[in-house]
């Protein structure tokens, strides 16, 4: 199935719905956030009191040989105390906001990871794995940087604006009025520049996900890439996506970088206007009715507040551009979190005492609605029977296995185990009733012992060794540097494919399931080892219902029934001898493997 990345971006503005959804994850930490805001308010109050102290100190410098050093020294002490308060309150506020933000992000990432276990396999199959990884990793980090940390800056900016405005009104309402009237110019410039940022940040996140998907694909299939000389084409694909990422990232960075200097320029113009007006009021005195004379100290105080009043607008506009990227990332994360879950197992009974009696009744299934695959499939399997499934690639063999394991549900019809519809028992109990060995092996990073005991963590060392011996891997393991304590790389990268397959077989042997699924289980093993494995499987499959998917027909001669599939339908059914006698599709397939 074709894997897609995130949905095409259509929004051009901040996604406030995503912010609202994020608040649900921040709710447990509201008391800490409130404490952080209180501490921030105290820090801002101390910051705003400092210009008052400085302004009064300036006024104590009256003239030559007329300086009140006692008052200046006293104010210097007060100013030092205010600076210390600013430091302490700011430090404590940062601790609180970091505590809340990182735990919020931890919870969000945990939910995103858990969601991957709740969505149907079709969702994982139809999306780029690298893109899903990017949502759980990069996008969640961007939410932390842009939304949660930005919220604190936004609050500080708003409180600073209100506080400085109050102080300016107290000192001189005319200057305050001029500042308030001119400041919207700064906001207009910021809004105009940041208007298109969201779409750019959203496309940047989308391309970042595509790039992660490509890198994951190339790294996990590096041998195939090199075998077919695909390196150059892979580099070309990478260059195309990387180029798109550069364009969107560059545009987003350019527009977001333009906001701050443009607003600073406007704010500096405002500062100059306030400075000229303030100097005029100091020189001319109370020329404006209702406004008293302005001292030099008061002017320095007002100028300081004018700067502090416009400064938060710079920070707020910066936060707004960060919000564009963060909400775009949040939308991608919540697209995952809001994906439709697989049907719940709540209230369903566990499958117990499974002996391997399976009935498949008139099952229809397709991955794509208008492309039917399995049509009207029926089969009754008794406990202990061995069912081999053969046919050309794409005929539905592996799909049938997916339906048996309930990785996918049939479009219609039903599958029963021990007379119970598998949709009426829990998935976990159903899947634990099967032992499965696939053509594509998977091992986790850990010791050989941990990998063999993956499905049975409580197994004893003796049981692990016994399973390894049965899978003919014990001798290999004992020759490793640390034996069963040897640590394997991710996906067993430091051992051969055949050895990985043998470990996977040992893993299944340790679980003793009543039903087995062997999907091309010996395809990566040499002929000599295959004979030993077939002997081990003969012992393993005794009294167990077994489904064997194989292209090498010589491995399924002893099956009780062989299903020959083509285009989703069973076209022949019988034992090996019966099918050869018929001289049909199976016979032709079998004979073609031995032609010279």
Same domain, 316 and 393: no
Same domain, 281 and 407: no
Identify the CATH number of the domain in which residue 270 sits: 1.20.1560.10
565, β-bridge pairs: 570
- Band of pLDDT at residue 64, cut at 50, 70 and 90: low
CB neighbours of residue 47 within 10 Å: 20
Report how far residue 285's alpha carbon sits from residue 390's, in angstroms, rounded to the nearest whole number.
101
Same domain, 430 and 464: yes
Closest CA to 538 of 519, 553, 516, 523: 516
Residues found in the chain: 596
Say if 151 falls within a structural domain.
yes
pLDDT per position as a tens digit, 139-195? 888 787 776 667 777 788 888 888 888 888 887 778 788 888 877 777 677 667 666
The residue that leads in pLDDT, 7 or 595, is 595
Same domain, 319 and 418: no
Identify the CATH number of the domain in which residue 525 sits: 3.40.50.300
**Taking all residues of the chain, what is their mean pLDDT, rounded to a whole number?**
80
CB contact burial 71-108 (16+ within 10 A = b; e otherwise): eeeebeebbeebeebbeebbebbbebbbebbebbbeeb
Closest CA to 152 of 104, 96, 102, 108: 96
Whether the pLDDT of residue 480 is over 80: the answer is yes
Mention every residue, 6+ apart, whose C-beta is less than 8 A from residue 177: none
Same domain, 575 and 505: yes
Mean pLDDT across the stretch 549-565? 79
Domain boundary among 305, 337, 369: 337
Say if 278 falls within a structural domain.
yes
pLDDT per position as a tens digit, 363-378? 998 888 888 888 888 8
CB neighbours of residue 336 within 10 Å: 21
Say if 366 falls within a structural domain.
yes
Whether the pLDDT of residue 355 is over 60: the answer is yes
- Band of pLDDT at residue 12, cut at 50, 70 and 90: very low
Query: What pLDDT score does 11 carry?
Result: 44
Report how far residue 535's alpha carbon sits from residue 205's, in angstroms, rounded to the nearest whole number.
52
Query: What pLDDT score does 570 carry?
Result: 83
Q: How many domains does the chain have?
A: 2
Report how far residue 131's alpha carbon sits from residue 135's, in angstroms, rounded to the nearest whole number.
6
Report how far residue 522's alpha carbon sits from residue 554's, in angstroms, rounded to the nearest whole number.
11
Same domain, 541 and 481: yes
Query: What pLDDT score does 317 carry?
Result: 65
Same domain, 306 and 400: no
User: Which tokens go with 37?
Assistant: 């805001």
Query: What pLDDT score does 338 carry?
Result: 87
3-state helix, strand, coil in the chain (%, to 5): 65, 10, 25
> Regarding beta strands 515-519 and 545-549, do their DSSP bridges make them parallel or antiparallel, or are they unpaired?
parallel
CA distances from 361 to 352, 371, 372, 548 (A): 21, 21, 17, 20
- Which residue range forms the structural domain that includes residue 30? 19-337
CB neighbours of residue 550 within 10 Å: 21
Same domain, 327 and 379: no
pLDDT per position as a tens digit, 369-408? 888 888 888 889 998 888 988 887 777 788 888 899 888 8
Same domain, 80 and 223: yes
Whether the pLDDT of residue 593 is over 90: the answer is no
Query: What pLDDT score does 520 carry?
Result: 63
CB 313 within 8 A of CB 165: no
In the chain, how many H helices and how many E strands? 21, 14
SS in 3 state form for 306-360? HHHHHHHHHHHHHHHHHHHHHHHHHHHHHHHHCCCCCCCCCCCECCCCCCCCEEE
Same domain, 388 and 491: yes
Nearest 5°: CA angle at 536, between 532 and 539?
A: 145
Query: What pLDDT score does 1 carry?
Result: 44
Q: Quick check: helix, strand or coil at residue 525? A: coil
Same domain, 329 and 362: no
Same domain, 397 and 332: no
């Amino acid at each position: 199935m074709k894997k897609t990345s995130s949905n095409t971006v259509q929004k051009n503005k901040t996604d406030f719905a995503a912010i609202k959804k994020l608040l649900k994850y921040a709710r447990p930490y509201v008391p800490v956030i409130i404490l952080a805001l209180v501490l921030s308010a105290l820090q801002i109050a101390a910051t705003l009191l400092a210009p008052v102290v400085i302004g009064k100190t300036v006024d104590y410098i009256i003239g030559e040989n007329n300086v009140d050093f006692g008052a200046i020294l006293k104010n210097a002490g007060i100013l030092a105390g205010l600076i210390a308060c600013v430091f302490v309150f700011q430090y404590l506020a940062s601790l609180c906001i970091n505590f809340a933000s990182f735990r919020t992000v931890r919870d969000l990432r945990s939910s995103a990871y858990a969601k991957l276990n709740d969505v149907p396999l079709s969702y994982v199959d139809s999306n780029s794995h690298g893109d899903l990884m990017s949502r759980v990793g990069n996008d969640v980090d961007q939410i932390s940087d842009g939304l949660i940390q930005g919220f604190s800056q936004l609050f500080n900016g708003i409180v600073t604006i209100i506080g400085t405005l109050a102080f300016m009104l107290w000192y001189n309402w005319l200057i305050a009025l001029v500042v308030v009237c001119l400041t919207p110019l700064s906001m207009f410039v910021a809004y105009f520049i940041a208007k298109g940022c969201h779409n750019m940040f959203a496309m940047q996140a989308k391309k970042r996900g595509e790039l992660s998907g490509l890198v994951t694909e190339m790294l996990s299939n590096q041998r195939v890439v090199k075998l077919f000389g695909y390196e150059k084409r892979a580099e070309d694909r990478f260059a195309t996506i990387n180029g798109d990422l550069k364009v969107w990232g560059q545009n987003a960075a350019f527009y977001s970088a333009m906001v701050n200097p443009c607003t600073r320029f406007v704010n500096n113009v405002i500062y100059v206007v306030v400075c000229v007006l303030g100097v005029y009021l100091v020189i001319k005195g109370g020329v404006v009715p209702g406004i008293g004379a302005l001292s030099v100290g008061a002017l320095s105080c007002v100028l300081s507040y004018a700067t502090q009043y416009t400064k938060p607008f710079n920070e707020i506009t910066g936060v707004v551009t960060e919000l564009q990227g963060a909400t775009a990332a949040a939308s991608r994360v919540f697209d995952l979190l809001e994906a439709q879950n697989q049907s719940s197992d709540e209230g369903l009974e566990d499958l117990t005492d499974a002996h391997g009696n399976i009935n498949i009744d008139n099952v229809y299934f397709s991955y794509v609605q208008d492309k039917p695959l399995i049509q009207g499939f029926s089969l009754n399997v008794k406990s202990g029977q061995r069912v081999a499934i053969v046919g050309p690639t794409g005929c539905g063999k592996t799909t049938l296995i997916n339906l048996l394991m309930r990785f996918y549900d049939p479009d219609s019809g039903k599958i029963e185990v021990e007379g119970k519809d598998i949709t009426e028992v829990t998935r976990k109990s159903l899947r634990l009733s099967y032992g499965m060995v696939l053509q594509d092996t998977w091992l986790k990073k850990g010791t050989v012992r941990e990998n063999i005991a993956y499905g049975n963590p409580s197994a004893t060392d003796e049981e692990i060794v016994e399973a390894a011996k049965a899978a003919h891997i014990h001798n290999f393991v004992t020759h490793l540097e640390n034996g069963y304590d040897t640590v394997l790389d991710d996906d067993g990268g430091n051992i051969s494919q055949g050895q990985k397959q043998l470990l996977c077989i040992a893993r299944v042997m340790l679980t003793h399931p009543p039903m087995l699924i062997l999907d091309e289980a010996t395809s990566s093993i040499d002929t000599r080892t295959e004979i030993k494995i077939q002997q081990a499987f003969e012992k393993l499959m005794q009294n167990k219902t077994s489904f064997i998917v194989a292209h090498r027909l010589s491995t399924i001669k002893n099956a009780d029934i062989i299903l020959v599939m083509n285009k989703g339908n069973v076209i022949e059914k019988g034992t090996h001898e019966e099918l050869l006698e018929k001289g049909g599709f199976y016979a032709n397939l079998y004979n073609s493997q031995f032609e010279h």
